[in-house]
Amino acid sequence: MVTEQRDLARARARQEVGRLIAAGVRGTAVTWVDNAGLTRVKAVPTDRLEQVVSRGVGMSPVFDVFLVDDSITDSRHVGGPDGDLRLFPDLSRLTPLAAQPGWAWAPADRYDQRGAPHPVCQRWFAHRMTERARRRGLEVRVGFETEWVVMPADGPAPGGTGGPAPGTADTGPAYGMARLVAHSDYLAALLDALHAQHVPVLQLHPEYAPGQFEISAAPAGPVEAADTAVLVRETVRGVSARHRLAAVFGPVVEPGQLGNGGHLHLSLRQQDRNLCRGGDGPFGMTATCEAFLAGVLRELPALLAVGAPSPASYLRLVPSRWAGAYRCWGLENREAALRFICGPADDPDAANAEVKCFDAAANPYLAVGAVIAAGLAGIDAGLRLPPPVAGDPARADEPPPRLPESLEESVRHFEESAVLREALGEPLWESVAAVRRAECALFAGATPQEIAAATRRRY
């Protein structure tokens, strides 16, 4: 069967090579996202693509314990200079890059030298959790919001510490038309590039912080949505570079300002029915949807180690800034960590939930997989949601519990979560924990300004 699949892949690759060469594509960027949330790459010439889909591209497993500053830790299963893996590009996502003429992109699945899936492959984890839901008759639909700050291309270098506040490329008002007008050519080029790459965009608008924008991609299956999140970010980066700008995705650009979120929207479907609508549960959700969301809410302190994985994340995750700093849920409540959205009454497919406490440092494959695992555990346990919270939780007479206020705290919850440990499997779970602990140590004693400066342009 493996031989047959590889023969089919080679045949498809031959077709793709012809298409890419005709389009002037000379190389393909084959990417994966590591546990620190950074997109890593191996690039191959177009005329080698057929060989690559058959044999893969070599890479070291040690990247699974790289930190945000490219230093290296280790774990019981991963670490050191030994070993090799094979990257196999997914040709179903092979995309010529509109903002980088001469280049294409494809996400990779990772295998060991014997052809078995690498147990620390984050994309395989997302596949496994998607399949776990499918076996229960559930289809999970996911959409990511991507936020970034536009800065001059010659702004502060990645990895710098201290220094003055970074200048943004625009200081127009939050959500202001003035900001869109000032960058209309840049944003139009971004929309053109995403359209050329067949990425459906729901909306694009200026955000709250100075120079900040947000783009929302249409919902898709979990792995496809995570792939698209990677493609959107690299497209923003590419278009920005061609306009002599830098796109900054770090959780915070400047301490004290609103940071870059990586909000995850999700809905559950069964037999083509949206389970977020049409039930007897809160605001019309079905019992299955309620139990799933209750599972997510229960695991949120541990999920933050996946979705808010940087010490910089906790400079963003503060009350009264729409970041979702409290462990609660609410109807259309942008201060709740879990926001339920009914959508228009005449559009049953629009109902969904939003995990607001995640940010732009998260690996999207880990994020979707971990959220699915938490939700399915909620279904297994027959959980129900607590009463919803209205208004700003920080101003309540009895506020709900705060989510972890530091990476150290969220890592403790992560290490105590039997749900996430089982779902991830020991090698992946331990490598994630090792990277988080090492980044806690890396930034121990650093000031908020130093943390922001060291991380703002790394993602």
Q: What is the pLDDT of residue 11?
A: 86
- Kindly state the DSSP code that residue 63 receives in the 8-state scheme: G
- Please list the residues that pair with 41 across neighbouring strands: 31
Name every residue whose Cβ is closer than 8 Å to that of residue 296 and which is 6 or more positions away in sequence. Answer: 303, 338, 353, 355, 371, 374, 375, 378
Q: What is the pLDDT of residue 165?
A: 43
Indicate if the alpha-carbon torsion angle 358, 363, 367, 370 is positive or negative. Answer: negative
Half-sphere exposure of 200 (CA within 13 A, CB side): 7
- 432, with CB counted inside 10 A (0-12, 13-18, 19+), is buried
pLDDT tens per residue across span 390-426: 999 999 999 999 999 999 999 999 999 999 999 999 9
Q: Using 50, 70 and 90 to split pLDDT, how confident is the model at 7? A: confident
- CA 418 to CA 256: how far, in whole Å? 35
Q: What is the pLDDT of residue 160?
A: 41
The answer to whether 40 and 30 have CB atoms below 8 angstroms apart is: no
**Can you tell me which residue has the tokens 């497209």?**
235
Q: What is the pLDDT of residue 3?
A: 63
Single pTM value for the model: 0.95
User: Tokens in use for 289?
Assistant: 């949807």
Q: What is the pLDDT of residue 168?
A: 65
In the predicted model, is pLDDT for residue 445 greater than 50?
yes
Report all structural domains of the chain as residue ranges with CATH numbers, in order of start: 2-118 (3.10.20.70), 130-455 (3.30.590.10)
- CA 299 to CA 10: how far, in whole Å? 42
Which run of H or of E encompasses 345?
Answer: none
Neighbours of 405 (CB within 10 A): 12
Burial 413-424 (b: 16+ CB within 10 A, else e): bbbebebbbebb
In the predicted model, is pLDDT for residue 157 greater than 60?
no
Angle at which helices 184-196 and 222-242 pack, to 10 degrees?
Answer: 140
In the predicted model, is pLDDT for residue 449 greater than 70?
yes
- CA 223 to CA 130: how far, in whole Å? 8
pLDDT tens per residue across span 227-273: 999 999 999 999 999 999 999 999 999 999 899 999 999 999 999 99
Residue type, 372: I
User: Tokens in use for 441?
Assistant: 């140590």
Size (the chain), residues: 459
User: Tokens in use for 364?
Assistant: 């999207």
- 154, with CB counted inside 10 A (0-12, 13-18, 19+), is exposed
> What's the whole-number average pLDDT of the chain?
94
